[in-house]
Chains A and B, each alone.
Chain A
Amino acid sequence: MNPVVVTTTMNIKGREFLLADVTRGMGQIGVFRFGSDPSAITDIFYVENEPIISIGWQNLHDPYANKFLTQISSTERCSEYIRTRLSVVGENYFIDKQGLSRSIMPVLELLPDGLYVVHESRMIQSDGEGRFFWNSYNNRREVFGSADRNAAIGDGNYSPCFLVPTDQVASYQPNKMNIKSDKLNMGVQLGGVAYHIAGMFSVLLEGHHTATACLLNDKDFRCLVIEPISDVIYDSHNEDDDGIKPKIIALACPFIKIPLDMLPDNSLERFLVSRRYIKPYAYAEIKSKMTKNIRSVSKRSFPVAAYEKALQLPDLQTVESASGVNSVSEEQLAALLKGEVQYEDEFIVSSNHYSSVVTVCNFLKISNFERFLSFSLEILKSEELSASHKFVAEQMLTIIHQDICEYFSSVAESKEEKDGFVPAIAHKYMKRWNEFQQRKEEEETAANAAHQKHMDAMTAMAESKGGVAHLEAAVRQMGGLTKGM
């Protein structure tokens, strides 16, 4: 029987998303529980018959306990059928603009029965601690921010934006990444598909090279994120003191809380009947692959810039802090720059100015880099806001940008006697900037040399075949090749 997916576009508190109700789903992508001994629970994220990510629990009864995430295998080992279904989604949505519901359908049909939220969000190509995502999960380790509940965010909503790879390190191909870079630079919109697995983390089902290209080209990497609904929300306004828990009033995933009465007919009942950890059809095969090591040997390595740029991405604390704000107007920013914490008799963030600046900076860093840059520079230029200077300057330290360079350069070269942290940070920044420029020049020189060498070789080959036509053809071919490099 064919899968049935009913989708409903919803908008709750300005958050637009697609609610997908999957019945008779193919169960080819999902999470199942591998062993349920309370002291050693491990969930497995699988695709088809491959165990991709192991999710180890520290404490089943503590929603604030982080988990252990480890990459076990790769979706490259899955069938062409699955890979094609995954790859068409990005093309359908980001390039062909087919609409969210229609674009994501090939993947939704692969899921087990249940309710899912699908939304488009910016994703961050790191593990939340500044490490490039693609090779950050090879060893079993506690991943901060992977707990079901986040004490810093509390009841707020957030997008699980940190990425966990499903392709192995060896599958990285510079040419493929260069092609994506070229497309991005030509203005083509590219993106990926992700599936939420734990806390602030989502596995990237499709778009590893695009994610890397976006990182290297300073472009936002956007994904269609699928979040299974598995949590419930209690009525916090009706809490009893006698130990009796209040009523459950909403279903939830990190991105959104949906009140029970807003759910479409029958969806809630189907959600309640379906189970969260359905054993996949290929359970025996997946189990047998759990203990087999994946061979991940490759001569290729990720560009050094990918590691450096991952350091500049918003980290876990930044994202947690930013989730406390939904939007900030220019007027509110102006008020903060005047040292005020209120705008039109309402707190912009909180009654603490420093805390407000930190939260707003984090929010802007994630949502709009240009606004972050101008707001941060304004703060640094304002002598009245010196309490916030250290935080803002440190935020800028990791970002390689011409405007920041110009500001720090003027501070570093200034002959005025200045106290505080900013001059020290400015010197540090300029040192970094110079190193970056030097390495960039070296890389360009090396790339030009390689290009010239290749050209010479092609010319020699064409000459040996004796003919201008051959030479022209070879050069034309080279043009095509070098364009992709």
Chain B
Amino acid sequence: MAYESLPGVKIHYREKKQTFIISDFFSVYEKGSDVPEIYKWSDLVSVSENKADFTLNTGVKSYVIPKSLITDPVQLIRARAIIEGAISINPNVDYKFGKRILPPKTLCTGCEVPRDAYVAVGSYTEKEVNNANVVLLNSGFDKLIIAVFPIATVAAFVLMWVLWGEVLNNLIKFIPISLFAGGATSMVVYLLCAFSAKTLYSRILKEDPALLEDITFVICEDGFIAAESEVYDFCNIISWNESAFFIETNHAYIVFKDKQAVFWLPKRLFPKNKHKEVGDFIADRLQQK
């Protein structure tokens, strides 16, 4: 189990008179009972995390733990690390989680971080997260235009045909107007996406308090990781096998798994003369030219 040394987390839910303990086991004291319900993590069917709460489903009962009950962000980070560490060795438990920048700890495997690893500590800034996200959007923008432009053009043409009829007489007007409408629609869609990309940081921040914490970044021969420094113990890593490729932006290296970004490494945390070395190292590990 990854993160097996973290102290357990006890959470009181006054309104429902429940006490939850997240540790080697998941335990629930119900309404003043002295004897808790105890579950092995492998006994759970599913666990999900969203903006507001954790939901743990045992197959018979579903326990909802509002995140608001955990006032200390460190406790919240610990609780999540213990849950994800437990699920990392019980992959039969279905796990869903919300938006986040840090990779899920369910991907972690135990590995001693070697001395020659690249290690950096720092937090993400709003600017670099948003900029990196816009770059990600732009890299996929060609496909977006190719998809939206013809659809919007055809839609505009059909609309005009329906409204005014007489296609043959008005063809010389309909074609440029349709093309213009298609282009304008693509532009609006792009601007909306860009706006959305630019607000990624603030959206994730609402769901994941870890964004404000110090993060430890590690890349080494065996893998990579970005984890909250509060819980990271240099004994867990995500194997390079869990990644497919990476891209380099002005501000960050971004590693992907299944077309999803799993690891954002801010360049700012390394001296400028090391940037190429770090980029080459990641490229080498991913066998990417």
What is the interface of chain A, defined by CB distance below 8 A to chain B? 32-38, 41, 60-61, 230, 232, 243-245, 247-248, 260-261, 265, 268-269, 272-279, 287
Q: Assess A60 versus B4: contact at CB under 8 Å? Given A36-B235, A247-B37, A248-B38.
A: no
Chain B residues, CB < 8 A from A38: 89, 109
Does B110 contact A36, Cβ atoms closer than 8 Å?
yes
Cross-chain pairs A/B with CB under 8 angstroms, 16 sampled? A32-B5, A36-B88, A61-B42, A232-B38, A244-B58, A248-B38, A261-B34, A269-B36, A272-B23, A272-B25, A273-B10, A275-B4, A275-B5, A275-B8, A275-B24, A278-B5
Chain B residues, CB < 8 A from A248: 25, 37-40
A323→B8 CA distance, assembly (Å): 35
Chain A residues, CB < 8 A from B108: 36
Does A244 contact B4, Cβ atoms closer than 8 Å?
no
Does A272 contact B27, Cβ atoms closer than 8 Å?
yes
A279→B2 CA distance, assembly (Å): 12
A268→B4 CA distance, assembly (Å): 19
Nearest chain A CB to B51's CB is how many angstroms away?
27
Chain B residues, CB < 8 A from A260: 35-36, 38
Interface: B186 (CB within 8 A) = no
Does A33 contact B110, Cβ atoms closer than 8 Å?
yes
Closest A residue to B35 by beta carbon equals: A260
Interface: B280 (CB within 8 A) = no
Interface: B7 (CB within 8 A) = yes
Does A272 contact B89, Cβ atoms closer than 8 Å?
no
Chain A residues, CB < 8 A from B43: 245
Chain A residues, CB < 8 A from B36: 260, 268-269, 272
Closest A residue to B2 by beta carbon equals: A36
Interface: B278 (CB within 8 A) = no
Task: Known pairs A37-B111, A277-B4, A287-B112; list 5 more (Cβ under 8 Å).
Answer: A35-B112, A36-B2, A36-B236, A38-B89, A248-B40
Chain B residues, CB < 8 A from A36: 1-2, 4, 88-89, 108-110, 235-236
Q: Assess A279 versus B233: contact at CB under 8 Å? Given A232-B38, A244-B60, A261-B34.
A: yes
CB neighbors of A among B77-107 (8 A)? 88-89
A32→B110 CA distance, assembly (Å): 13
Q: Assess A35 versus B235: contact at CB under 8 Å? Given A41-B110, A232-B25.
A: yes
Q: Count of A-B contacts with CB under 8 A?
A: 91
* B interface size (C-beta, 8 A): 36
Does A273 contact B8, Cβ atoms closer than 8 Å?
yes
Interface: B121 (CB within 8 A) = no
What is the interface of chain B, defined by CB distance below 8 A to chain A? 1-2, 4-8, 10, 21, 23-25, 27, 29, 34-40, 42-43, 58-60, 88-89, 108-112, 233, 235-236
A41→B34 CA distance, assembly (Å): 35
Nearest chain B CB to A8's CB is how many angstroms away?
16
* Interface of chain A: mostly helix, strand, loop or mixed: loop
B8: which of A33, A230, A272 is its contact (CB, 8 Å)?
A: A272
A247→B21 CA distance, assembly (Å): 16
Closest 6 CB pairs between A and B? A36-B110, A273-B8, A35-B110, A279-B5, A248-B38, A37-B109
Chain A residues, CB < 8 A from B7: 273-275
A20→B39 CA distance, assembly (Å): 23
A244: which of B10, B59, B111, B236 is its contact (CB, 8 Å)?
A: B59
A41→B88 CA distance, assembly (Å): 13
Nearest chain A CB to B106's CB is how many angstroms away?
12
Closest A residue to B8 by beta carbon equals: A273
Nearest chain A CB to B231's CB is how many angstroms away?
12
A256→B235 CA distance, assembly (Å): 34
A37→B242 CA distance, assembly (Å): 14
Nearest chain B CB to A391's CB is how many angstroms away?
40
Chain A residues, CB < 8 A from B40: 232, 245, 248
Q: Assess A275 versus B34: contact at CB under 8 Å? Given A38-B89, A41-B110, A245-B43.
A: no
A35: which of B23, B58, B60, B111 is its contact (CB, 8 Å)?
A: B111
A245→B110 CA distance, assembly (Å): 29
Nearest chain B CB to A209's CB is how many angstroms away?
36
A119→B133 CA distance, assembly (Å): 61
A33→B42 CA distance, assembly (Å): 19
Does B10 contact A33, Cβ atoms closer than 8 Å?
no
A279→B232 CA distance, assembly (Å): 13
Give the one of A36, A230, A273, A279 with max B CB within 10 A.
A36
Chain A residues, CB < 8 A from B109: 36-38
Nearest chain B CB to A343's CB is how many angstroms away?
38
A313→B111 CA distance, assembly (Å): 41
Closest A residue to B236 by beta carbon equals: A36
Closest A residue to B27 by beta carbon equals: A272
A61→B35 CA distance, assembly (Å): 27
Closest B residue to A230 by beta carbon equals: B24
A230→B25 CA distance, assembly (Å): 10
A232→B39 CA distance, assembly (Å): 9
A265→B6 CA distance, assembly (Å): 24
Chain B residues, CB < 8 A from A273: 7-8, 10, 21, 23
Chain B residues, CB < 8 A from A244: 58-60
Chain A residues, CB < 8 A from B59: 243-245
A260→B109 CA distance, assembly (Å): 33
A260→B28 CA distance, assembly (Å): 13
A245→B45 CA distance, assembly (Å): 11
A37→B37 CA distance, assembly (Å): 29
Chain B residues, CB < 8 A from A265: 34
Closest A residue to B44 by beta carbon equals: A245
Nearest chain A CB to B41's CB is how many angstroms away?
12
Nearest chain A CB to B23's CB is how many angstroms away?
6
A60→B8 CA distance, assembly (Å): 21
Chain A residues, CB < 8 A from B38: 232, 248, 260, 272
Nearest chain A CB to B124's CB is how many angstroms away?
27
Nearest chain B CB to A128's CB is how many angstroms away?
28
